[in-house]
Structure 1
């Protein structure tokens, strides 16, 4: 997450903005956690960027695991309709319980908002067909997203690394899904000059 959680108001809907977290699936699938996610990491799965989550965020910290009248479990029929962008019921269920519960939205509304946020982002063309490992700086990755998304300021995007590998790209959005700066998220981004982008297996 962008920051260790401060004491937060856990009233659903009370937050400042969203963070759309895009996970580079090949890095996750190369980890020990990926072995437990056949829906995302099976041999016939070759995802690139997938949605890790849409996170209600405050300028300092973030709420999590809020109390809501919605059920904790996301029904398969609802969750699986989002497998094109979030290819695991475990991922979808966890994101709903930890983050979606704080959005003030129903499960269906939250997942629809997540799809809407993802649809707002144009993925840089260089990431659509990675056939061999690439090495870029964190800044170069951010710049590629900014070029593909006019109006995105550098203070609205942060690259996260797992060791030297690309882990995630985090983009800050208003509640209406416009780009907005987010100093704390930006500050916590990885800044190394050699970020490895592994290809889908």
Structure 2
């Protein structure tokens, strides 16, 4: 009898946990726009995967990693949603700014579902957010890989976007190189201060930055 009772308890807990997966879609405080320096990702991971994103014909610099719903502290992910998943053509259409349809699919599953929007509306908003930020021209003109303080990358974004302040952007690094510029936006895509958990600037003084192919 005790074994049956224990089994029923485990089953009940399992059902409860399954229902608890993911936060409520549409309930968040702001967005983080994440821009990835594609050449560094290609050196670090993409080339080994033979990723099409890394083919020189694309000329990728700062690509859209994602538009992430964020709480003032923490973030939701993999939210249940009533909206359908995007089609292959929907995700393929995002490859011009995201590098691949696979990334677009993953971003919808992990972050887009939490926006409360349909996939079409989420991708449209992501494209609008991407266009909101002016990307510094200087990095497109690199002729060879360089090492620089990560703070220089932040300063370049601030100079290119006069309405952006230091508390609204953070630069991340990975494996000794510049990884991403993360910019905080209101739900209406205006610059806003980042939460404390997002403001974690890379402090490397000699971070690598590879050239656009």
Tell me the CA shift for residue 161 of structure 1. 0.4
Output the TM-score relative to the length of structure 1: 0.89
Match of 1:4 in 2: none
Native 8 Å contact 2:66 2:126 kept in 1: yes
Q: How many residues align?
A: 194
Query: Could you say if the C-alpha distance between residues 31 and 158 of structure 1 is closer, same or farther in structure 2, counting changes exceeding 3 Å?
Result: same
CA 1:117–1:163: 2 relative to 1, 3 Å: same
Q: How does 1:126-165 map to 2 (within 5 A)?
A: 126-165=138-177
Rg comparison, structure with higher value: 2
Deviation of the 1:9 alpha carbon: 7.4
Equivalent position of 1:199 in the other structure: 211
Q: Secondary structure at the match of 1:187?
A: coil
Structure 2: runs of 5 or more not aligned = 1-19
- Indicate how the Cα distance of structure 1 residues 171 and 129 shifts in structure 2: closer, same or farther if over 3 A, else same: same
CA contact (8 A) 1:156 1:186 kept: no
Q: Is the 8 A contact 2:25 2:80 kept in 1?
A: yes
Task: Confirm whether residue 26 of structure 1 aligns to residue 27 of structure 2.
Answer: no
Deviation string for 1:90-116 (max 9, x for gaps)?
100000000000001000000000000
C-alpha separation in 1, matches of 2:37 and 2:89? 25
- Check the 8 A contact 1:78/1:108 in 2, yes or no: yes
Residues 73-84 of structure 1 aligned to structure 2 (within 5 Å): 74-84=86-96
Which TM-score applies when normalising by structure 2? 0.85
Question: How big is the alpha-carbon RMSD for the aligned residues of Structure 1 and Structure 2?
Answer: 1.9
Q: Which runs of 5+ in 1 are unaligned?
A: 1-6
Per-residue CA distance 1:144-199 (angstroms, 9 max, x = gap): 10110011110110001012211100000000111101132443221211121111
Question: C-alpha displacement at 1:76, in angstroms?
Answer: 2.1
Indicate the structure with greater helix content: 2
Task: Tell me which of 105, 109, 116 is aligned to 1:97.
Answer: 109
How far apart, in 2, do the equivalents of 1:107 and 1:34 lie?
Answer: 29
State the partner residue of 2:25. Answer: 12
